[in-house]
Copies of this chain bind each other. A is one copy, B any other.
């Protein structure tokens, strides 16, 4: 599994990130490639959630994945195990990806033959939320052990996301996590946020999320 391609992406030179992101969205629209940007804290279960999602959709959609990290290629290797194309992006210490950096990854991934390109952003609730990557939809994962107060402390990421996956519900009995409150706080930040309660480990609740994603991709390609 050591043959995963590692791309050292460079800090982007564009002054206007939003403009650059719009240009990428235009390009992907023409290619009919749906870009999903996945954000979360370190260790919330992004990769495990993606593996379940890919396993459910890979026979229906052509999927490619970009794993962004400061260092290591452990995530890209795990994703490669699903059989879909997976590359590892190293950010050179940067805490997020902007549109230009995302495009460097898309170019390496090759999007023309893909229905769905997934970017697993750097684990961080602050910086990634500040940069439009050109994605069609943004999704964030919040895991039960992180606590239900996160929408109060990290408002922006809840505001910019279209969907919130609450992961690790299998360990709810062992944590003081108030599910009603977290949904209330999240909707305070963003009333339109779609919420999915899942355990990527056991598979519980994954179907609704996968169905939502599939519907989004199909609507985009239509």
* A residues whose Cβ falls under 8 Å from a Cβ of B: 41-43, 69-72, 74-75, 93-95, 122-127, 130, 143, 145-147, 149-150, 152-156, 168, 170-171, 174-175
Could you list some 15 contacts between A and B, CB below 8 A? A41-B146, A42-B125, A43-B150, A70-B156, A72-B152, A72-B153, A75-B153, A93-B126, A124-B125, A124-B127, A143-B145, A171-B171, A171-B174, A171-B175, A174-B174
Partner of A71, one of B70, B75, B145, B152: B152
Q: Which residues of B contact A72 (CB under 8 A)?
A: 149, 152-153
User: Nearest 3 pairs between A and B by C-beta?
Assistant: A43-B146, A145-B145, A95-B126
Q: Give complex CA distance A156, B74 in Å.
A: 17
- Interchain CB contact under 8 A, B153 and A71: yes
Q: Give complex CA distance A190, B101 in Å.
A: 30
Q: Which residues of B contact A149 (CB under 8 A)?
A: 72, 74
Task: Tell me the nearest residue of chain B to A152, going by C-beta.
Answer: B72
